[in-house]
Amino acid sequence: ALLFGFSLTFWSQTGIAEVYASNLFMVALMVLLLLQWVRARTANLQSAARRRSFLWFWAFALTFGLSLGMHMSNLGFAPAFALFVLLVDRRLILRPWVWLVGAGLFLLGVLQFLWLPYKAATLNDALMLRHAPSTLEGIYAYTLGAFPEFKFAFPLTEIPDRIVLYLYLLAQNFSLFGILAGVAGMGVLLWRAPRRFFLLMGMFLVNVWFFVQYRAFDVDVFFIPAHFVYAAFIGLGIYALFSAIDWLGRASGRRWQQAVQFGLGGVVVLGLVLGLGWEVSANWGRNDYSGDTAINDFYENVYDLLPPDSALMGRGGVFGYDMFYFRLVYDYRPDVIIPMIDGPRPSPQELAGREIFTTQPMQPGRGGGGPG
């Protein structure tokens, strides 16, 4: 858990306003609920208690539907989830009341997307307005159909290079030792708990397969669910290492057992502590945002320099939020109007008689919004 928590990519997402850390919470919660359901189903319980075990399954179904509001890619885990459920309890398909309730709870979570057409009229970004989610087609473009230019953007001949890129990112987060420990952990899980292996491996492969073909400058953050699963494999690999040390100690005889177990075990523990310390030290500087005040400093100076009753132009939509923040949160300089808060194109009436300033670089020949 510590190895994953201080890993480069995941740690980078825990100090900023993004979806990836909160989405991982939902992914981890889904896995936990499924495993709790399995424990309840396989335990030696009375009939009534076994029926109550379906509460875990229904909680999982609701969480799955809710998780799509964090990241639509979670839908790709459905085949791994379905295979795991069938491997645990194939008779579930003969209990329609169980999976129908589960389907209903999943759809209840999905109902959150009704917020899109409800708030479509408040969009203020020209790009988003082209596919406003006020129709079924628009809702699809906002959800499953979002960013089509990024998906499956590489020909098959480039997939090997993309896989190498993923392996590089995996090594960057967990080191070569972590990769080897993870491979060992896969073998341990396949041998000891094959159903859990197919659940985790299915999730891992889906996440890696989809995003190695995804063209994005920050593609590393999309692999966080795969890194999470691989961290579980690493934990199992380390468990296997301690099990091997225990076996060696017992095989060496009663006289040497404790010396072997404590000696080799101590070396492994020391290596883990030093490795974790190195990881924290190596990633601290890259993920320490406490001194990153550039945006705040910039806009404090911008608003201080603006004359009374002027207009400030900039980018709309998500890219304008840093500019909007001072107005919407601090209510700073209410005399300065920011037309981009309400829409992508200000009316001439709004700007009449005001000095116009912009945070955008002006290009020759484009016309212009005044001094910058």
Q: Give the pLDDT of the chain (372 residues) as one tens digit per residue.
A: 999 999 999 999 998 889 999 999 999 999 999 999 998 887 765 556 666 788 999 999 999 999 999 999 999 999 999 999 999 988 877 788 888 999 999 999 999 999 999 998 888 777 778 778 998 988 998 899 888 899 999 999 999 999 999 999 999 999 999 999 999 999 999 999 999 999 999 999 999 999 999 999 899 999 999 999 999 999 999 999 999 998 888 888 877 888 888 899 999 999 999 999 999 999 999 999 888 898 889 988 999 999 999 999 887 777 778 888 888 898 889 999 888 887 777 788 888 889 999 888 766 554 444 443
Nearest C-alpha neighbor of 55 from the set 104, 101, 95: 101
What is the per-residue pLDDT for 100?
93
What is the per-residue pLDDT for 370?
42
Task: Using CB atoms within 10 Å of the CB of residue 205, give its burial: 0 to 12 exposed, 13 to 18 middle, 19+ buried.
Answer: middle
Helix, strand counts (H, E) of the chain: 17, 2
Q: For residue 135, what are the contacts with CB-CB under 8 A and spacing of at least 6?
A: 117
Q: How far is CA 362 from CA 304, 350, 357, 367, 369, in A?
A: 21, 21, 11, 8, 8
